[in-house]
């Protein structure tokens, strides 16, 4: 079976490590390069002991450069880099004919002006925005990802929100003007970096909101909700940091329309996600421990008859369905493979 040669740029971060672990056991992928400035010269097994014994354990990290990636022979390149830096690689790699799967925020937005508003800087490669496919697999129609050359992987918070909400907006079952979202994320969502606010002593026994009222992910959340509703959607979104390593839950409140109740919401979800292996409509309130280290997203609904509102819930792994495993799922679909390949 012929394998696709792949590389992971920024492989020493949390999402990068997850990508390496997933791709190392993928039956149709051969990892030919991993990059990291701080780990250059070390082997994968030295940096990630949990991957020792795999076929790629002896592969050495190299300094990140477009030249090194081209020399490796990689044709599909995963970028697990901070926003802004990913675009520096994406442009030259696309010109060289390489497929780019970007886990950063650089190509999620369709408007360079919106990017500048939320990220506080000019977009580094606005000419590539039209080519990028916003790759939330369960929301895309048909073969939208097949053959895609530039894949923009959604953020973890947006994934936890868009999956439960978009089918309801498409059917006109909730009032888009009433959506209020509260989300909680594990500390790994901030990335592997030296930051006093993320130290164990600061995060342990601590619950706190941050990024309010205009978190960066709000831009792609509103972009995709507006597309689903067919009108401009503005929501209230408050993220929180919780003292767990990985995992994410979102609680979404909205006013129902058209007589929508919990039964109808579940029916619409089951219809929208029929045959989609990673969306689970559950009867219990979703719990992050049931999705950690998987590509699943669990969604549920409750009616608040006192207030006349619907409450939607979701849970996913911020490093899995919110990042690395979703990137592999999108990559699978871009190759025309079963989306579960390497993820079961």
Active site residues: 156
CA–CA separation, 209 and 59 (whole Å): 40
Rounded to whole angstroms, the Cα distance separating 87 from 97 reads: 15
Residues 6+ apart with CB under 8 A from 164: 250, 252, 269, 299, 301, 312, 313, 314
* Whether the Cβ atoms of residue 187 and residue 143 lie closer than 8 Å to each other: no
The residues pairing with 181 across neighbouring beta strands, listed in sequence order, are: 237, 252
Per the rule left: phi > 0, alpha: psi between -120 and 50, beta: everything else, 27 is alpha
Which residue, 61, 113, 63, 66, is CA-closest to 87?
A: 66
Q: H-type helices in 174-277, by residue range?
A: 200-203, 218-229, 262-272
Signed CA dihedral, 60, 66, 71, 77: sign only: positive
CA gap 321, 247 in Å, rounded: 10
60-67 contact pairs (CB < 8 A, 24+): 61/11, 61/12, 61/34, 61/35, 61/36, 62/33, 62/34, 62/35, 63/35, 63/37, 64/9, 64/10, 64/35, 64/36, 64/37, 64/89, 65/35, 66/92, 66/93, 66/96
* Alpha-helix runs per DSSP H in 189-323: 200-203, 218-229, 262-272
C-alpha distance from residue 272 to each of 133, 164, 299, 315 (Å)? 20, 10, 13, 18
């Amino acid at each position: 079976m012929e394998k696709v040669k792949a590389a992971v740029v920024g492989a020493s971060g949390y999402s990068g490590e997850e990508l390496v672990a997933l791709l190392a056991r993928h039956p149709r992928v051969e990892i030919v390069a991993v990059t990291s400035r701080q780990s250059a010269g070390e082997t994968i097994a030295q940096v990630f002991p949990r991957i020792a014994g795999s076929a790629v354990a002896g592969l050495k990290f190299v300094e990140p450069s477009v030249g090194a990636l081209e020399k490796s022979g990689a044709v599909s390149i995963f970028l697990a880099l901070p926003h802004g830096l990913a675009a520096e690689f994406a442009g030259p790699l696309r010109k060289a004919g390489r497929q780019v799967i970007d886990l950063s925020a650089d190509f999620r937005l369709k408007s360079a002006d919106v990017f500048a508003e939320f990220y506080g800087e000019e977009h580094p490669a606005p000419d590539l925005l039209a080519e990028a496919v916003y790759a939330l697999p369960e929301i895309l129609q048909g073969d939208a990802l097949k053959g895609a050359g530039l894949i923009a992987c959604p953020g973890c918070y947006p994934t936890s929100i868009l999956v439960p909400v978009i089918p309801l907006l498409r059917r006109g079952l909730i009032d888009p003007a009433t959506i209020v979202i509260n989300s909680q994320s594990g500390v790994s969502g901030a990335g592997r970096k030296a930051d006093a606010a993320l130290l164990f002593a600061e995060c342990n026994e601590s619950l706190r909101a941050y990024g309010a009222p205009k978190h960066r992910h709000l831009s792609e959340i509103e972009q995709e909700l507006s597309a689903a509703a067919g009108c401009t959607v503005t929501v209230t979104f408050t993220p929180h940091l919780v003292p767990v390593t990985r995992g994410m839950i979102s609680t979404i409140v909205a006013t129902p329309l058209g007589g929508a109740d919990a039964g109808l919401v579940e029916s619409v979800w089951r219809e929208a996600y029929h045959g989609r292996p990673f969306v689970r409509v559950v009867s219990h309130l979703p719990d992050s421990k049931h999705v950690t280290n998987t590509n699943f997203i669990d969604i549920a609904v409750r009616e608040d008859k006192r207030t006349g509102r619907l409450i939607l819930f979701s849970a996913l792994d911020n490093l899995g369905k919110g990042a690395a495993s979703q990137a592999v799922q999108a990559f699978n679909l871009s190759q025309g493979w079963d989306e579960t390949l390497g993820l079961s």
